[in-house]
Amino acid sequence: MSLSLIKKLALGGAATLALTTAAYAQTVRVTVAEYSSKTQPYFEEAAAAFEEANPDIDIQIEVVPWDVLLQKLTTDISAGANADLSIIGTRWLIDFVEQGVAAPLDEYMDEDFKNRFIDVFLEPSVMDGKTYGLPVAASARAMYYNQALFDQAGVESVPENWEELKAAAEKIDALGEDIHGFGLQGAEIETDVYFYYAFWSFGGDLIEEDGTSGLDTEAGYQAARLYKEMIDEGLTQPGATANSREDVQNLFKQGNVGMMITAPFLSSQIAEEAPDLDYGVAAIPAGPDGERGTYGVTDSIIMFENSENKEAAWEFLDFIFTADWRQKFTSGEGFLPVNQEVAQMPEFTENEDLKAFTDLLPDARFAPVIPGWEEIAQITSDALQSIYLGAEVESTLDAAAAEIDGILQQ
Amino acid sequence: MSRISRKWRRTIFSWLVLSPLIVLVLFPFAVMFITAIKPATEVLRPTWWPSEVRLQNFVTMWEATGFGQALWNSVYVAVLSTAIALVVSIPAAYAMSRYRFAGRGFLQQFLLVSQMLSPIVLVIGLFRLVVWLGLIDNINSIVFVYAAFNIAFSVWMLQSYFSTIPKDLEEAAWIEGASPWKALVKVFLPLAVPAMVVTSIFAFINAWNEFVIALTMLRSQATYTLPIQIFSLVAGRYTVEWHHVMAAAFVATIPIAIVFAWLQRYLVRGLALGAVK
Amino acid sequence: MTRSPLTNPYLLVMPGFLLAAFIILWPLYQLGQISLSDVNRFGQLRGFAGFENFAAVFADPDFIGSLGRTAIWTFGIVIGTILVSLPVALVLNENFYGRGIARVIIMLPWAVSLTMTAIVWRWALSGESGMLNSALRGLGVIDANIQWLAQAATAFPVQIMIGILVSVPFTVTIFLGGLSSIPDDLYEAAKLEGANGWDIFRRITLPLVRPFINIAVVMNTIYVFNSFPIIWVTTQGGPANSTDILVTYLYKLGFRLGQLGEASALSIMMFVLLLGFTILYVRLAMRSTRS
């Protein structure tokens, strides 16, 4: 029995499936990251509307959980089985571009199309003057605070800098055993980012001008010491190293945490799950010199270089990046608008919470565009977890910085 | 009278010995069930008793998680892969228990070694294979993979059981003029039913619970099996609807639990005669 | 007697062998190829690399740490499982009221996929909203919440405990099979000779169950060594890699950091390690049964 016969037998099962799609001239497969339970219905709806307008194109939406998106893309690409379009974290884009996996989109884009976007969000997807991705989701970070706890503890104004934050955390923490001053994320994805909020406001840079890691600088030490002090003094929720972003957000929704830093989507979650929570959104605290930094994140949708249906794929991109569809997605998922026209809609301009985020955008920093950034983030997170668990600040950060320098020099 | 009281004493003793384990086993089920019936707003509070019982959660879960489709996919994959594994394993096990032939030792070793390769170690290579076959996002791809991974165990189980069935019985049938085929179907296979039941249970459970392969090969919700479907409710979402997750996990375990309750006496009997030789 | 395909062992063995070989050996060959190549994160081969990938794995301190923890993890669960399962199987082998229900309950963890079990435990172990803390507090066992997953000192033992819990059903089933194969008259005879319970266990039960224990050790070792969901779902190997075992390290290496070459090399090393252990154990077990 030859291999090809086996192959034919195996394909028999697939044949019936193939028949149903044969009626369409072109099939565009789109890999979509699942942000919430609304993601799939949204894209299915968009695809259906698009297919109605373009009967010769069939859109296949493949929804993938965020946690495994990079793994799936990697295995897909390695086997040449990737879709035509995919949502990716923009911080991965450099790897895709360097390996020739992502196709430049400039030939399809005219000035009008480009102007649909807010510059600051389109920029991270531009490399060597070419646009490789379109921002599909954007968020920045700001500080959420629990007004009720502030009132109870007698905190009169929202902390402006880290010193005030610590003082406020002390007062709030004294309210009770279950009440914690400052929610500190110490586990899973973006553990490093939670540290950068303080690191940036102390004047740190992730990559120094000489191309080495900035962790082993005074800013790094100060920021780490600040967090460690708060942990040691019991001002944070206990067990920081077991708490992912979702865990800390859950504590905030329950009204057990005074302050935390996170993305705008927490507002829409609170509206649904804890509508009675009395909270506010403010800027991330500033450092001693008044510096502050928020983390800007975009996810981009890219087109694969090996796609055989680039024209049809572009048609679909053009379609979902119209204002109406963008508005639907952005408000459903609780992201920041990336589209100029959407940003002007009253729904967004009149939203107090979102305003706090958009005000911070001039201070937004994005993950550095270097290959292997995921590995550096992992090293940083590991070092921070060690520190939160009791390791010495300077030596741990020095060791992490040395390891990162090794990667940077490659 | 005294016999009954002895049995009662043994009953109390037995339950006492088992109780710590039983508590630990039932604990996650209690967590599942209680979280599943809580109103959404109370899910995050670690209380044991919800202020009201929300059985509708099961209904909304069914809708919100696309449970029906995933359940069907899981049943389809588990039944079909078990059937394939059994169909190819029975003749192989029969040959290995009845005949000495060149290559038998090699085959046995190959089976033992293949048992040691877990899907996660092979996943990169398996994925390339499935792509080459053009079966990505086709549920049949995992049927074949599961069937293949179950062959080693199935052959081994069946073979050691078959060896306990005396050859005389078949030979007697041959002498009476039955063809080997008829002897097999009429005499041998009926005796082997317990072993086949046990083997199918193992194969079925493996397929029902498998995670890594399904995660890698399946692409769209239409093809997701239950573990993937439930995992996707938890993994990397910006918010997790725990009451739905727990309701889904609870409902997903019930079919298997019933199968177990029904077949567990076969399980032990089949193993008793088979497993070790 | 007519020639029948039933009398040709090769024909009987062929379909099963082909299917297994096709789906297991082909990927294995692929892994070998990748592990010896310079490969980018998308698996595209960029030339021959010799044993560089293997050397890189060995040079990583996380590898050594994970290796040690894998040993603790595997032996901890395998030994723990045997120690729990043996008495449980002995009890379940006796006739008592509700035995059927007890058997079904003990078997229940088998009915739940490991992923789901791990998800439920993660939820139950959460420090502030976890129901384990709330239950222990209610019983007065602890007065402050324990952050189970915040440090390896509590997380790893709990993970091992979960591992034992899910391995017990399979092992008990095997032992029950072994126990029911012991003829009753052996016990009767021993009782007539005045042997007490412990003697019976040591002289009759244990030796006769020994082959089943060997089976349980080998099978559990293979399963546990390769077990991924418990650790991945509860801690992802964290904090700071302190609960990483080889499979979670492999997953991070391959799919988080995109080092497919190193990941393939590690896969092969893990396979060799497991193979070596199994051969060693089977040899030892066979020698001791023979003597």
Quick: pLDDT tens for B246-273: 999 899 888 777 877 777 777 776 665 5
Is there a contact between A372 and A183 (Cβ–Cβ < 8 Å)? Answer: no
Those residues with Cβ within 8 angstroms of residue A248's Cβ, 6 or more apart along the chain or in another chain? A183, A184, A185, A237, A257, A260, A262
- Which residue type occupies A187? A
Distance CA A101, CA A90 (A): 14
What is the tens place of the pLDDT at every residue in A185-223? 999 888 999 999 999 999 999 999 999 999 999 999 999
The pLDDT value recorded for residue C290 is 55
Three-state SS for A144?
A: strand
C112: alpha, beta or left? (left if phi > 0; alpha if psi -120 to 50): beta
Residues 120-139 of B with CB under 8 A from A: 123-124, 127-128, 131-138
pLDDT reading at A1 higher than 70? no
The answer to whether C58 contacts chain B (CB < 8 Å) is no
Distance CA C178, CA A178 (A): 52
Find chains touching chain B: ≥3 CB pairs under 8 Å: A, C
The answer to whether B220 contacts chain A (CB < 8 Å) is yes
The pLDDT value recorded for residue A276 is 92
Distance CA C183, CA C204 (A): 10
Considering CB atoms only, which of A78, A374, A385 is closest to C43?
A: A78
Distance CA B73, CA B225 (A): 5
Is there a contact between C116 and C176 (Cβ–Cβ < 8 Å)? Answer: no
Q: What is the dihedral of CA A86, A92, A95, A98, to 10 degrees?
A: 70
pLDDT reading at C77 higher than 90? yes
Distance CA B208, CA B212 (A): 12
Considering CB atoms only, which of C235, C240, C252 is closest to A386?
A: C240
Residues in B touching C129 (Cβ below 8 Å): 44-46
What is the tens place of the pLDDT at every residue in A119-140? 889 989 999 899 999 999 998 9
The answer to whether A208 contacts chain B (CB < 8 Å) is no
The answer to whether C150 contacts chain B (CB < 8 Å) is no
The pLDDT value recorded for residue B3 is 60
Distance CA A146, CA A277 (A): 8
**Of the candidates C281, C284, C273, the residue with the CA atom closest to the CA atom of residue C218:** C281
Residues in A touching C41 (Cβ below 8 Å): 74, 95, 99
Pairing of strands A294-295, A364-365: parallel
Three-state SS for A249?
A: helix
Contact A333 B124 (CB under 8 A): no
Residues in C touching A243 (Cβ below 8 Å): 127, 150
User: What are phi and psi for residue A359, nearest 5 degrees?
Assistant: -60, -30
Cα within 13 Å of Cα(B70), Cβ side: 28
ipTM: 0.86
> What radius of gyration do chain B's Cα atoms show?
23
Is there a contact between A277 and A146 (Cβ–Cβ < 8 Å)? Answer: yes
Find chains touching chain C: ≥3 CB pairs under 8 Å: A, B
Considering CB atoms only, which of B13, B148, B226 is closest to C19?
A: B148
Considering CB atoms only, which of A78, A381, A389 is closest to C151?
A: A389
Considering CB atoms only, which of A7, A40, A189 is closest to B133?
A: A7
> Using 50, 70 and 90 to split pLDDT, how confident is the model at B174?
confident
pLDDT reading at C181 higher than 80? no
pLDDT reading at A21 higher than 50? no
Residues in C touching B155 (Cβ below 8 Å): 16
Tokens 């603790």 locate to C72
What is the tens place of the pLDDT at every residue in C29-50? 988 999 999 888 777 788 888 8
Distance CA C17, CA B89 (A): 9
Contact C27 B179 (CB under 8 A): no
Three-state SS for A250?
A: helix
Q: How many C-beta atoms surround the C-beta of residue A271 within 10 A?
A: 12
> Using 50, 70 and 90 to split pLDDT, how confident is the model at C198?
confident
- Best C42, C119, C159 member to test A by mutation, with max A CBs in 10 Å, is C42
> Six-digit token pair at C188?
């009767």
- Best C34, C41, C123, C267 member to test A by mutation, with max A CBs in 10 Å, is C41
Residues in A touching C42 (Cβ below 8 Å): 74, 77-78, 99, 101
C255: nearest CA partner in chain A = A71
Is there a contact between B193 and B165 (Cβ–Cβ < 8 Å)? Answer: no
**Of the candidates A180, A183, A191, A352, the residue with the CA atom closest to the CA atom of residue A282:** A352
Residue of higher predicted confidence among B124 and C245: C245
Is there a contact between C85 and C165 (Cβ–Cβ < 8 Å)? Answer: no
Residue of higher predicted confidence among B197 and B76: B76
Cα within 13 Å of Cα(C37), Cβ side: 17
- Best A87, A141, A273, A336 member to test B by mutation, with max B CBs in 10 Å, is A273
The mean pLDDT of A7-16, rounded to a whole number, is: 46
Residues in C touching A257 (Cβ below 8 Å): none
C39: nearest CA partner in chain A = A78
B222: nearest CA partner in chain A = A62
The pLDDT value recorded for residue B2 is 57
Min distance C206 CA to chain A CA atoms (Å): 43
The pLDDT value recorded for residue B273 is 57
Size of interface A-B (CB pairs under 8 A): 95
> Using 50, 70 and 90 to split pLDDT, how confident is the model at C64?
very high
Pairing of strands A180-182, A257-262: parallel
Three-state SS for A364?
A: strand
Residues in B touching A35 (Cβ below 8 Å): 237-238
Residues in B touching C283 (Cβ below 8 Å): none
Size of interface B-C (CB pairs under 8 A): 286
> Six-digit token pair at A229?
């002090």
Is there a contact between A94 and C37 (Cβ–Cβ < 8 Å)? Answer: no
Encode burial over B6-29: b for 16+ CB neighbours within 10 A, e otherwise: eeeebbeebbeebeebbebbebbb
Those residues with Cβ within 8 angstroms of residue B86's Cβ, 6 or more apart along the chain or in another chain? B154, B196, B199, B200, B203
SS (H, E, C) chain C: CCCCHHHCHHHHHHHHHHHHHHHHHHHHHHHHHHHCEEECCCCCEEEECCCHHHHHHHHCHHHHHHHHHHHHHHHHHHHHHHHHHHHHHHHHHCCCCCHHHHHHHHHHHHHCCHHHHHHHHHHHHCCCCCHHHHHHHHCCCCCCCCCCCCCHHHHHHHHHHHHHHHHHHHHHHHHHHHHHCCCHHHHHHHHHCCCCHHHHHHHHHHHHHHHHHHHHHHHHHHHHHCCCHHHHHHCCCCCCCCCCCHHHHHHHHHHHCCCHHHHHHHHHHHHHHHHHHHHHHHHHHHHHHHC
Is there a contact between B178 and B186 (Cβ–Cβ < 8 Å)? Answer: yes
Least confident of A12-21, A307-316, B150-159, C20-29: A12-21
Is the peptide bond prior to A104 cis by the omega test (within 30 degrees of 0)? no
Distances (CA, A) of A229 to A174, A203, A390: 16, 19, 10
**Of the candidates A153, A147, A195, the residue with the CA atom closest to the CA atom of residue A352:** A147
Contact C109 B21 (CB under 8 A): no
Query: pLDDT above 70 covers what percent of chain A?
Result: 94
Q: Is residue B218 classed exposed, middle or buried when 0-12, 13-18 and 19+ CB atoms within 10 A define those classes?
A: buried
The mean pLDDT of B36-54, rounded to a whole number, is: 83
Distance CA B14, CA C99 (A): 9
Three-state SS for A127?
A: strand
Min distance C2 CA to chain A CA atoms (Å): 26
The pLDDT value recorded for residue B198 is 82
Considering CB atoms only, which of C128, C155, C260 is closest to A251?
A: C128
Sheet holding A142-146, edge to edge: A180-182, A257-262, A142-146, A279-282
Distances (CA, A) of B121 to B116, C43, C195: 10, 16, 50
The mean pLDDT of C2-11, rounded to a whole number, is: 73
Helical (H) or strand (E) element with B180: helix B180-183
Contact A78 B124 (CB under 8 A): yes
- Which residue type occupies A1? M
Min distance A163 CA to chain B CA atoms (Å): 30
**Of the candidates A248, A254, A245, the residue with the CA atom closest to the CA atom of residue A273:** A254
Considering CB atoms only, which of A10, A36, A246 is closest to B135?
A: A10
Contact A37 B64 (CB under 8 A): yes
Residue of higher predicted confidence among B218 and A89: A89
The mean pLDDT of B165-183, rounded to a whole number, is: 82
pLDDT reading at A20 higher than 60? no
pLDDT reading at A156 higher than 90? yes
pLDDT reading at A281 higher than 90? yes
**Across chain A, what does the average pLDDT equal?**
89
Is there a contact between A152 and A349 (Cβ–Cβ < 8 Å)? Answer: no
Residues in B touching A70 (Cβ below 8 Å): none
What is the tens place of the pLDDT at every residue in B129-166? 888 888 877 899 999 999 999 998 899 888 888 888 88
Is there a contact between A189 and A374 (Cβ–Cβ < 8 Å)? Answer: no
> Six-digit token pair at C249?
């390290």
> Using 50, 70 and 90 to split pLDDT, how confident is the model at A10?
very low
> Using 50, 70 and 90 to split pLDDT, how confident is the model at A88?
very high
**Of the candidates C25, C17, C39, the residue with the CA atom closest to the CA atom of residue C264:** C39
Query: pLDDT above 90 covers what percent of chain C?
Result: 36
The answer to whether C130 contacts chain B (CB < 8 Å) is yes
**Of the candidates C209, C195, C4, C239, the residue with the CA atom closest to the CA atom of residue C86:** C209
B242: nearest CA partner in chain A = A250
The answer to whether C12 contacts chain B (CB < 8 Å) is yes
Residues in B touching C110 (Cβ below 8 Å): 205, 256, 260
Distances (CA, A) of A138 to A61, A63, A185: 21, 19, 21
> Using 50, 70 and 90 to split pLDDT, how confident is the model at B276?
very low
